[in-house]
Copies of this chain bind each other. A is one copy, B any other.
Amino acid sequence: MKAAPRPCSIADTLALVGEKYALLVLREVSLGVRRFDRIARNTGAPRDILTARLKRLVEAGILEKVPYSARPPRFEYRATAAGEELQPVLVTLMAWGDRHLNADDRPVVLEHDCGEVLSPRLVCAHCGGEAGRDSLRHHVRAPGWTTAGPVEPGAS
């Protein structure tokens, strides 16, 4: 055997949406841009790559194809419920980039219902307290693994 990587939902999620352009496609769909040509232009993805990404995202249940014309057969792409649940990922990535890369002029600003510009904060749904590094503890449940690595750090 040749040492499987750590079992992890982050890795599993990235296997679906971690390829180049996948999250940008989702961004466009979230913005209401649902057609092939527009998504291609707005993301910069080559058309053949976009074809592959859309196919994968549809198979993963993140997007769905909805017909908007029968003849010729034409579809648009919409986020499913699962797809919409990825929005916090987009928002969080955007907030990081706004802070660290585009501090002086943000390309897009999100306005929250309350009227303020959104700065997103991750909290515990249960107690409402901040969910930051210092308030979290990892419990590795995958058999054979610990926080540091595999139990048997070499052999099989």
Chain A residues proximal to chain B, CB less than 8 Å: 3-14, 16, 18, 20, 23-24, 27-28, 30-33, 38, 41-44, 61, 82, 84-102, 105-114, 116, 118-129, 131-133, 135-142, 145, 147-150
Contacts and interface: CB of A to CB of B under 8 A. Distances in A.
A131 B112 contact: yes
B120 A116 contact: no
Contact of A112 (B84, B101, B136): B136
A110 B136 CA distance: 6
Identical subunits present: 2
Contact of A101 (B12, B88, B116, B133): B12
Given A87-B132, A112-B124, A125-B119, A149 B33 contact: yes
